[in-house]
Structure 1
Amino acid sequence: MFELNAVLERDSILVGSFPLSQLRLINDCQFVWFILVPQRDEITEIYQLCEEDRQQLMAESCLLAETLHDAFSADKLNVAALGNQVPQLHLHHVVRYTTDACWPGPIWGRLPAISYTEEELANILQKVHSLLGDDLILPSAKPS
């Protein structure tokens, strides 16, 4: 049975689920930063997914990437599966701007996270739900 890594659960908010992956928002308002977490047990690398799941993950990732790039007018979109600190497979999607505090370097570990306010969180969730609502299964309870 799928179980979300405790660090991912602590640091992110459930946005909804695609057929394979949970879509989660990293709780750091300095960046528009989402992760896809395939709902499969004991998977740490993309190649460990079966072929069908790999194709589904790439479809979900491309849909998310294009949506974020366009909706947030990104200068660049960073997509990465690192796993150095959290081994559970998760794919980062980070909207980047040439004006952001870490540009052009990576964002990981550079700045302490600043949590979203309730209003900011409601706004970004509403925007993403309106853009991806046809493709997402939305959480029935308050996001965690």
Structure 2
Amino acid sequence: MSERDFVIDTRLRADTRHVASLDLCDVLLMNDARFPWLVLVPRRAGMVEICDLAAAEQTTLWLEAHRAAQALRAIAAFDKLNLGALGNIVRQLHVHVVGRRQGDSAWPGPVWGSGAAQHYEPQELEQMLGRLQNELRVL
């Protein structure tokens, strides 16, 4: 399977907004204002685990995760950066890049399953997308 066969999982599409397309990954913003939270999805059909990617693509994935983390740091204050590739609910390969603050609504536990998402207000969502796009230098 190739990039042209790639489709983002329906749950990821429902829970996120597209920020940018990097060399390998689509960068998505989780629509949950409680946490600065990006999701990177490699545009490769049929990928489930990081080890399913070719070695060079694994390197690109981590470089793009670093780039996403730097973009988050530039626009949001947080105490700890969490990276995760769980895939227990959404099997499609994706990597979470989440900024955490001591005392946030899920602290110190994981963000997954920690209550209902609080969606961004439309204007706030557009501002976040614009700032992230600017930081990722894709405008």
TM-score, with structure 1 as normaliser = 0.89
Which letter maps to 1:46? I
Partner of 1:142: none
Could you list the per-position Cα deviations for residues 116-140 of structure 1 after superposition, in whole angstroms to 9, with x for gaps in the alignment? 111110111121112112xx4x6xx
RMSD: 1.2
Cα deviation 1:65-93 (Å, max 9, x = unaligned) = 13323431220011000000000000001
Residue 87 of structure 1 aligns with an amino acid whose one-letter code is R
Superposition deviation, residue 99 in structure 1:
2.5
Q: Any residues of structure 2 matched to 1:6-45 within 5 Å, and which?
A: 6-45=10-49
1:111 maps to amino acid? G
- Matched to 2:69, the amino acid is A
Q: Counterparts of 2:74 and 2:128 in 1: how far apart (Å)?
A: 14
Q: Secondary structure at the match of 2:91?
A: coil
Q: CA deviation at 1:24?
A: 0.3
- Aligned residue pairs total 135
Aligned letter for 2:84?
A
Tell me which residue corresponds to 2:94.
Answer: 90
Instruction: After TM superposition, list the pairs within 5 Å mapping 1:1-144 onto structure 2.
Output: 1-133=5-137, 136=138
Cα deviation code 1:81-122 (max 9, x no counterpart)? 000000000000111001311111111001101211111101
Distance (whole Å) between structure 2 residues aligned to residue 111 and residue 15 of structure 1: 24
- 5+ residue gaps, structure 2, are none
TM-score by length of 2: 0.92
Contact map agreement 1:69 1:76 (CA 8 A) in 2: no
Whole-Å Cα distance in 1 between the matches of residues 74 and 7 of structure 2?
Answer: 32
Moved over 2 A (4+): none
Does structure 1 retain, via aligned residues, the 8 Å contact 2:105–2:114? no
> 2-side partners of 1:73 and 1:13: how far apart?
21
Query: Structure 1: which 5+ runs fail to align?
Result: 139-144
Alpha-carbon distance in structure 2 between the residues aligned to 1:74 and 1:30: 12
Q: What is the identity percentage for the equivalent residue pairs of Structure 1 and Structure 2?
A: 38
